[in-house]
Structure 1
Amino acid sequence: MAEFVKAQIKNGKVVVFLKPPCPYCVLAKDVLSKYKFKAGHLELIDISTRSDMDSIQDYLQQITGARTVPRVFIGEECVGGGSDVEGLHHSGKLEGMLQAIGCLQ
């Protein structure tokens, strides 16, 4: 489990652990869709179909302090969930964070 999560989170990449029907997951995807990512630098991981979904969420709680989805990682740093990403976008900080890890076109 930890290996799966760690293997996804890499510097230079944005990773979102999500469940499709979740409104905050939709919000995070909508905000991130406003940016032009280089191919392969934005990864949306649907954990709802995985048999180890609960274990993944337990591990995310250990490393981020929250079990809820989405969990959005910019590089190796978790920036929170949907509302957090929206707040970073509106404050203008999100673009700088994305540029800092080199994931934008």
Structure 2
Amino acid sequence: MTTTASVQVYTTNYCPYCTRAKQLLTKRGIAFEEIDVSNDDEKRAWLVKTTGQRTVPQIFIQGSPIGGSDELHQLDRSGELAKRLAAA
């Protein structure tokens, strides 16, 4: 499935969960924007304020946070990921 939905993945360059999330999106043919926050304290602070989470990845679909890699994989398994992207 190829989509034009707006998907952003906030990552760091040393995060295996980020790699796992990006691999799933790539496997599903879902285009995404990767935003590396490894050395960006301002963006990291924004993520914490926006999501309440200090971990990466943090994934957004159409500007709404869905969580991290585990949540992305759960959405994929349940079919909800495809539904959200189709509705976007």
Q: Distance in 2 between matches of 1:97 and 1:61?
A: 23
Q: Give the aligned partner of residue 9 of structure 1.
A: none
Unaligned runs of 5+ in 2: none
- State how many pairs are aligned: 84
Could you tell me how far 1:62 is from its partner in structure 2?
0.6
- Structure 1 residue 97: deviation in Å? 0.8
1:46 equivalenced with 2:4 (yes/no): no
Distance 1:63 1:47 in 2: 14
TM superposition score normalised by structure 2: 0.85
**Among residues 42, 45, 70, which one is paired with 1:83 in the alignment?**
70
SS at match of 2:13: coil
Q: How far did 1:20 drift?
A: 2.7
In the TM superposition, residue 61 of structure 1 has moved relative to its aligned partner by: 0.8
Instruction: Tell me the TM-score normalized by structure 1.
Output: 0.72
Alignment of 1:25-36 (within 5 A): 25-36=18-29
SS in 2 for 1:24: helix
Q: Give secondary structure in 2 for the equivalent of 1:36.
A: coil
- Out of 6, 10, 29, which is 1:13 matched to? 6
- Give the number of the structure whose alpha-carbon radius of gyration is greater: 1
Structure 2 residue corresponding to 1:67, chosen from 54, 69, 74: 54
